[in-house]
Every structure is written in C-alpha cells, then in structure tokens.
Amino acid sequence: MGVERVRRLFGAQLSRRFGLLPPEPRGTVVPRPPATAGPADFTGPKRYVPAADQDFAALRSAAERYPQALADREGFGWMRRKPFDPTERHPHFFQGMYAILNAVQAMRLPPGALVMDVGSGPGWVTQILVGLGYRVVALDPSEVMNDLARRRLRGFEAMSGVATDAATFITSTLEEADLAEYLAQVDAVMFHEALHHVIDERAALGKVFALLRPGGCLSVSGEGSWTPGDGQLERGLDAEMARYGTLESPFTRPYLRYVLEAAGFEDIQFHLGVNGMFAEAQAHMELHQVAGTPAGAAHVLLARRPMNGDPRPAAADPGLTEAEIAVVTAAWDRGGLVVRVRLRNSGRTLWPSHVPPLRQGVTLALTRHATATDQPEAANRCPLPHPVPPGGETVLDWRFEAQTLEGGPCYLRLVAEQAFWFQGAMRVNV
C-alpha cells in the first residue's frame, strides 16, 4: 500500500534521497543556481527533502537518466502507454485524465493559448493540449522523455491529421532553462505530477511567474502534499528515491502557498477534484464526500499572475533577483549620460539577455527616482550583451539619452522586461 499510495499521489517517477550519487563536476555551460536553503522568514517544515538545491547537479543528472533506468526495470511500456492504465478500474487513467481535464477547463484559456507543460515526460498532456488547439512548450530535463513525446505526437498527427508543430520541446530543468523568448508571453504553465521533482522551488516558481503574461495561470495537479510524520508516505518516498536517485520532495501546504506568494502570485486556490457519475439519490452529498482526493492530501492548485500593477515592484522576493551595480565611470555629454557599469548577479535566477527586436530579458534603466515605477526615465535602456547566470558578472558601456534628467539625481536600476523592476537602485554621482 505504501509504495502504491506514493505512486498514486506522485506518479511513477520516484527516486532515492539525494546525496548518494557521486558528485558531478559543476557545469560551466549550464549554470547551477546557488545553494540556498530557502526563505529565511518561513518557519516550519517546507518540503520532504529540504534544500535539495545543494545537490542540484546530481539530481539533475538522475532526472536525465530516469527513463532509461525505469525502462531497464520494467520497459518503456507505461511511459509509452500513459495514461491508458489497463489494470482493474483503470485508476491511473481516471486520476490523470480527470486532473488534466479539470485543470484545462478551470483555466478558461483563450483559443490558441500558449501553454507550458513543465516536466512534460512522455507527452500525453502535451498531446491533449495540442489536440485542443493550444501552442505548447514542453519542457523536460530528459532527452529520452522528449523523444518519447515527439514520437507520440508524430503518431497523433498521423492518426488525427492535427498538425503537431504547435509543440516545441526543450530539454532542461525548469530552473536552468533559457526561456527568455517566452517572458511574460505564456498564458498558462502546467505541472502535472512534476512540481515535487523541481529541485529549487523558489527559482522555478519565480521563473514561472516571469513567464506568465499578466493574468496568466499556474496549474498544479497530480501533486501529493507532505505532512511531516506520515511514515507510510515517507517510507514510500524513500524507497522510490533509493531506486532511481531522482528527487521526490512534496511540499507542505503552508510552504507551497508561501513560495507562491513570495513569487508574486495571487488568487492562490487549492481545489477538490470531483468526477464521476452519482446516483440522483446522492444529490445531497457534500463536495468533500465525493472528491477524488481528500482535501489537504493533495495540492490541486490554480494561481494567477496579477493583471494589474505591472511592471511589478520586485519587493516580494528580493533574494531571488538581486544585483550588485557598480558605476565604474560616468560623465554627462550633450544630453547623454555615458557610463561604464559593472553588474553582478547576486541573486538566484538567470538574467536572460535582450532579444531584438522584442523588448525582453534584463535591461539597465536610468531613472530620476530610486523607487519602483517612478518617472522620468532616460529614453533608452541598456540591454545585456549576454545572459548572466547567478554569480556571473558583466560590464556595460552605454550612453543613456537623458536630457530631461541632466542636473538632478539619477539612479541605475535593473528591469526584467515586461515582468518587474529589480529591488534596489544605485545612485550615479557624476
């Protein structure tokens, strides 16, 4: 029952606790988010495996290897067949399908919406989304999973005639993915049986927030919750983690809510999924009596990026997007401020660079005031010449066209374009 319950609540990917794999050399190509234990101001239990980000590289590589490891034990059958569970009463089929259908229906997406399927695995959710006419970005750290998903979509196209080039596949963890082109563009981000695998939840959910357009929706389903001391659940998690090396770390409800609020989400609602046929004689029953998962036992969740107030002040989560700005030289020249500035990414997110002609990525702005959205501002913002990972530095040479600012105080401030202003500003003393 233990392992079965774990599989029911968390899906098939379960793995051993972190720390048992040999450490990998830190990659230089894909920067690893720095190790931090999470928000200092949250007290109480957070996740079953806290601070897993300290073992990021090993956990990522276990996620990459997982499908093959699973296939070595039981073949690719379930991954290819998912969600069609032929066992008695088809529990995985109904749980999975109801969860996705409920989420898609509840989000009320516009036709052709852009949806990100995070931890897309073998692609059955992606297939449904494409079939419903959405554009989909399917993201998974495992190339083997993405291959399975591509094959699934090719088969679907051959059978249905639905063009599947509306799906784009990205092979990466969410935390490390370069998603600059999607900033503030995405209508919905869905995690099905995936959130508890995310290694750095603050970086991941902060990124989801920045990817969503104002009013865009986050959906979490197939996600069990963790209540400390639930020995049966914990033994099941440990057993599965011991088998595959990947992270199996569900959240407590208060901590998940906390991380979402810190990222800036609003309208955070936990739901009950109610499905099936009921006799008319049962019409008096209450929702909790007929819900598929008992309230509190799972996180069935919708949350939104606020509609208003953009660009959003970054005050909600200073630890995530932090910068050190040093003015090396600055001089006024005929209505322009010519500067050399050194920037250091002291936060925990990758700063994407600007992608012309779109106004995207992180840029440097020159403003009159030090606070969030005050005007006036110089006419042109300075783009980053290249993405800057956490811990990375870059030096910018730029001329701000700033006639209206000459003679008064000026501040340098960073902007995540179409998303928010960074907290903090550097006064320019000329």
User: Which one of 121, 273, 383, 389 is in contact with ligand SAM (CB under 6 A)?
Assistant: 121
The residue among 268, 261, 265, 262 whose CA lies nearest residue 299 is 268
User: Which one of 31, 122, 245, 361 is in contact with ligand SAM (CB under 6 A)?
Assistant: 122
CB of 196 within 8 A of CB of 248? yes
Asked if 120 interacts with ligand SAM (CB under 6 A), we say: yes
User: Which one of 187, 193, 377, 417 is in contact with ligand SAM (CB under 6 A)?
Assistant: 193
User: Which one of 12, 116, 218, 263 is in contact with ligand SAM (CB under 6 A)?
Assistant: 12
User: Which one of 46, 47, 92, 192 is in contact with ligand SAM (CB under 6 A)?
Assistant: 192
User: Which one of 55, 175, 223, 238 is in contact with ligand SAM (CB under 6 A)?
Assistant: 175
Over the window 39 to 68, marking each residue x when it contacts ligand SAM by CB under 6 A and - when it does not, the resulting string is: ------------------------x--x--
User: Which one of 125, 138, 148, 262 is in contact with ligand SAM (CB under 6 A)?
Assistant: 125
Asked if 341 interacts with ligand SAM (CB under 6 A), we say: no
- From the list 30-38, 168-176, 263-271, 295-303, the region that binds ligand SAM by CB under 6 A is 168-176
- Residue nearer to ligand SAM on the CB measure, 136 or 366: 136
CA–CA separation, 338 vs 336, rounded Å? 6
Per-residue H/E/C for the chain: CHHHHHHHHHCCCCCCCCCCCCCCCCCCCCCCCCCCCCCCCCCCCCECCCCHHHHHHHHHHHHHHHHHHHHHHHCCHHHHHCCCCCCCCCHHHHHHHHHHHHHHHHHCCCCCCEEEEECCCCCHHHHHHHHCCCEEEEEECCHHHHHHHHHHHHHHHHHHCCCCCCEEEEECCCCCCCCHHHCCCEEEEEEECCHHHCCCHHHHHHHHHHHEEEEEEEEEECCEECCCCCHHHHHHHHHHHHHHCCCCCCECHHHHHHHHHHHCCEEEEECCCECCCCCHHHCCCCHHHHECCCCCCECCEEEECCCCCCCEEHHHCCCCCCEEEEEEEEEEECCEEEEEEEEEECCCCCECCCCCCCCCCEEEEEECCCCCCCCCECCCCEECCCCECCCCEEEEEEEEECHHHCCCCCEEEEEECCCEECCCCEECCC
Asked if 174 interacts with ligand SAM (CB under 6 A), we say: yes
Q: How near is the Cβ of 120 to ligand SAM at its closest, in Å?
A: 6
Asked if 142 interacts with ligand SAM (CB under 6 A), we say: yes
| Number of other residues whose CB lies within 10 A of the CB of residue 158 | 10
Asked if 118 interacts with ligand SAM (CB under 6 A), we say: yes
- Residue nearer to ligand SAM on the CB measure, 65 or 381: 65
Asked if 70 interacts with ligand SAM (CB under 6 A), we say: no
Q: How near is the Cβ of 59 to ligand SAM at its closest, in Å?
A: 8
Asked if 138 interacts with ligand SAM (CB under 6 A), we say: no
- C-alpha distances in angstroms, 328 versus 362, 398, 411, 416? 20, 12, 14, 23
Question: Which residues, numbered 345-384, are part of the site for ligand SAM (CB under 6 A)?
Answer: none
Asked if 103 interacts with ligand SAM (CB under 6 A), we say: no
Instruction: Tell me which residue has its CB nearest to ligand SAM.
Output: 121
Asked if 119 interacts with ligand SAM (CB under 6 A), we say: yes
CA–CA separation, 225 vs 152, rounded Å? 30
- Residue nearer to ligand SAM on the CB measure, 84 or 278: 84
Asked if 425 interacts with ligand SAM (CB under 6 A), we say: no
User: Which one of 95, 173, 252, 367 is in contact with ligand SAM (CB under 6 A)?
Assistant: 173
User: Binding residues for ligand SAM, how many (CB under 6 A)?
Assistant: 27
- Residue nearer to ligand SAM on the CB measure, 103 or 314: 103
- Residue nearer to ligand SAM on the CB measure, 201 or 417: 201
Question: Which residues, numbered 198-227, are part of the site for ligand SAM (CB under 6 A)?
Answer: 198-199
- From the list 40-48, 85-93, 136-144, 340-348, the region that binds ligand SAM by CB under 6 A is 136-144
Q: How near is the Cβ of 122 to ligand SAM at its closest, in Å?
A: 6
CB of 363 within 8 A of CB of 382? yes
Residues near ligand SAM (CB under 6 A) are: 11-13, 63, 66, 82, 118-122, 124-125, 139-142, 145, 173-175, 192-194, 197-199
